[in-house]
Amino acid sequence: MTVAGSLRVVEAGARVYRRTWRGSVISTFLNPILYLLAMGVGLGELVDEGTGGASLDIPYLTFLAPGLLAAAAMQTGAGDAAYPVMAGIKWRKTYEATLATPVSVSELLMGHLGWVTVRLTFVATVFSLIMVLFDATTITEGLAAIPPAVLTGIAFAAMVTAYTANLKDELGIASMFRFAIIPLFLFSGTFFPIEQLPDYLEPLAYITPLWHGVQLCRGFALGTDFTVHPLVSIAYLVALAVLGALLAIRILRKRLIS
């Protein structure tokens, strides 16, 4: 595997995005604004004035914003590894065309993840700056939350790429978002501390990748204490990314090279 081959795949992704960026750039800016306005400001006022048993000790908007940053990274990584990968394999067959060049399967996969990393960095940077504009964090801490958000997205991108590469049709993608991505979004600490979950669900939340991403982003963005050591969460997400990449290479090689 050579870096040059992977960079060619990244370049191809950039060239395509140069013509399609209008379809995603608006949502990149608009989604965090709408989420923070509706959930952070609107619902947040009710939460801050409430008398529930769980006290956050910080405004709800401040608590929510880093969690949404990690969730946005998860959704971006999973989204870029779902239908685009299916298109490359089955519909547009761009992966077969790429492999007809000197680019290898491993270079194709690393180039794909490289382009996803570029996209994740852009999305996370925009989200962090909007967090600062909403006064949910400082500029320094907001920028510090970008790397763990990107790592979270890469972990999901690698695993979802392996999952998508093994599918015969797109029905499994819809099921993945319905039964995996959405529940993770709701129950991995994004909107409330997982200590509020039933006792039998709380241990499950601790092992979800998004929870580790949320706690990293929240810890770096707010300067709060980490539930587990940040190196543990980083190692967990890196391990998932490496495992997903290795599985994806193996599956793609088996499926695309006869």
Q: Residue 205 and residue 187: Cα distance in Å, rounded?
A: 7
At 258 the pLDDT is 65
At 1 the pLDDT is 66
Of 157, 175, 55, 64, the C-alpha closest to 109 is: 157
Token pair of 7 as six digits: 């960079």
Of 154, 174, 162, 136, the C-alpha closest to 44 is: 136
Q: Residue 6 and residue 28: Cα distance in Å, rounded?
A: 26
At 53 the pLDDT is 44
At 195 the pLDDT is 87
At 187 the pLDDT is 92
Task: Please state the rounded mean pLDDT for residues 88-114.
Answer: 94
At 33 the pLDDT is 87
Give burial (CB, 10 Å; 0-12/13-18/19+) of 34: exposed
At 40 the pLDDT is 73
Residue predicted with more confidence, 30 or 220: 220
State yes or no: pLDDT of 147 exceeds 70: yes
Q: Residue 115 and residue 158: Cα distance in Å, rounded?
A: 12
Q: 39 near 191, Cβ under 8 Å?
A: yes
At 101 the pLDDT is 92
State yes or no: pLDDT of 77 exceeds 80: yes
State yes or no: pLDDT of 2 exceeds 80: no
Residue 189 to residues 14, 107, 193, 211, 256, Cα–Cα distance (Å): 33, 35, 5, 6, 39
At 48 the pLDDT is 66
Task: Please state the rounded mean pLDDT for residues 30-51.
Answer: 75
pTM: 0.93
Q: What is the DSSP secondary structure assignment for residue 100, as one 8-state letter? A: T
Give burial (CB, 10 Å; 0-12/13-18/19+) of 118: middle
At 49 the pLDDT is 66
State yes or no: pLDDT of 44 exceeds 50: yes
Least confident range from 16-20, 86-90, 203-207: namely 16-20
